[in-house]
Amino acid sequence: MRPGDPGPSRDRGNSVAARAVPRAPGESQPRPPETTPTRFRPTLHPGAWWLWAISLGVAATRTTNPLLLALLLAASGYVVATHRSPAPWARSYTAFVRLALAVLLIRVLFAVALGSPIPGTHTLLTLPEVPLPHWAQGIRLGGRVTAEAVLFAAYDGLKLATLLVCVGAANALASPTRLLKSLPGALYETGVAVVVALTFAPHLIADVRRLRAARRLRGRPDRGLRGLLQVGLPVLEGALERSVALAAAMEARGYGRTAEVPARVRRTTAALTLGGLLGVCAGTYGLLTAEGGTYGLPVLLAGVLAALAGLRLGGRRSPRTRYRPDPWGAHAWLVTGSGAAVAALLTLASVRDPGALHPGVVPLVAPTLPLWPAAAVLLALLPAFAVPREPS
């Protein structure tokens, strides 16, 4: 570099970027650098991703049609592929997909081994039946396996697998540390514990991979019981050291300290929170049963309001401030609204046309794709096109 040449500038993430201006002929001193303001792109609120994923999970509970469930899986997977960050916690989506496949396989295996109450005429195979004592009436081990029972178990397992994948999508899209800032003060300590657990899990997986790779390079076994012990002990030791260091750092920063509140406020908080949770449970039970359809929604709304009031009062024990809180803008409303629209439309479709959303297995028929419920599921893809990707 020659004397007088401007040195390389570093981008420190500030809102103003400096640009050097060359010296004009006849000037004794260089001009001051021009400042060009850079636009700050707000990040999406992490709670919007969770509400979007929960709404897709609610939509998955309203149907057992494998075609609609496959559309839900494809929509959530595409949004995760377009908006997932390279952070370690975002890699949990693959683990949730594997867990969903395991749940689906276990559900089908249970139907094959333990039998199913679904009658059927298409026999796939006949397993040796194990005789059971008289007190185990209604339970069967082995016997005839029908295509209707296997298909019913596959539909049921696919619904549960879709729920797990939706939860995995929320974990991959929403930053747990940013979500912690949005929690009410009453749930702050619980949120800290959950965030610490979610943060440590990727580090454990990375430690296991690093140690196994190091043992393979040294020609030592990394599989079997011996390899598991020699890899697991260093991982456990590193996790304990990391947890002790984190506990000391949190203690030094005042985590866990609470403010003094009057006894009357504590009793009111406990009564509102407990009564609100009971109201939510009773209202949910009323909505799920035909007899409680009249009182279910009012009791549910009253329970939610009471629980929110209890959380608001309970936040007085944990006074804290938020540094740069995440705004809830138009993109957050769009993401939440798209998920809520999918849940509402599939719920309406399950009431108006239950046969299309719950295909029967007796008699054995192929499922069909209903048009307007499938179009409703496609609304879940709006975040992939309308929400800008956050900078990594």
pLDDT single digits (tens) 225-238 = 767 777 777 888 88
Select from 99, 62, 89 the least CA-distant residue to 170. Answer: 89
| Structure tokens belonging to residue 288 | 């799920």
| Structure tokens belonging to residue 375 | 């179009």
| Structure tokens belonging to residue 315 | 């936040």
Between the CA atoms of 205, 207, 210 and 214, what dihedral angle is there, to the nearest 10 degrees? -130
Tell me the one-letter amino acid at 61: T
b/e code 264-274 from CB counts within 10 Å (16+ = b): eeeeebeebbe
Q: What are phi and psi of 143, to 5 degrees?
A: 100, -160
Is 40 in contact with 327 (CB distance < 8 Å)?
no
Residue 17 has pLDDT above 70, yes or no: no
d(CA 169, CA 150): 28
Is 84 in contact with 173 (CB distance < 8 Å)?
yes
pLDDT digit string (tens) for 23-38? 445 545 554 444 444 4
Residue 241 has pLDDT above 50, yes or no: yes
Is 384 in contact with 357 (CB distance < 8 Å)?
no
Select from 74, 101, 94, 102 the least CA-distant residue to 168. Answer: 94
**pLDDT, position 37:** 42
Strand partners, 17: 36
d(CA 185, CA 176): 16
Mean pLDDT along residues 116-120: 78
Mean pLDDT along residues 176-195: 70
Residue 184 has pLDDT above 80, yes or no: no
Residue 21 has pLDDT above 50, yes or no: no
Mean pLDDT along residues 266-283: 82
Strand partners, 36: 17
How is residue 182 annotated by DSSP?
H
pLDDT digit string (tens) for 49-86? 999 999 999 899 889 999 999 999 999 999 999 988 88
**pLDDT, position 185:** 65
Q: What are phi and psi of 126, to 5 degrees?
A: -125, 120
Percent of the chain having pLDDT more than 70?
Answer: 77
| Whole-Å CA distances, 249 to 8, 78, 175 | 37, 39, 21
Mean pLDDT along residues 292-304: 76
In angstroms, what is the C-alpha Rg of the chain? 28
pLDDT band for position 378 (50/70/90)? very high
Residue 305 has pLDDT above 50, yes or no: yes
Angle between helices 92-114 and 147-173 (to 10 degrees): 160
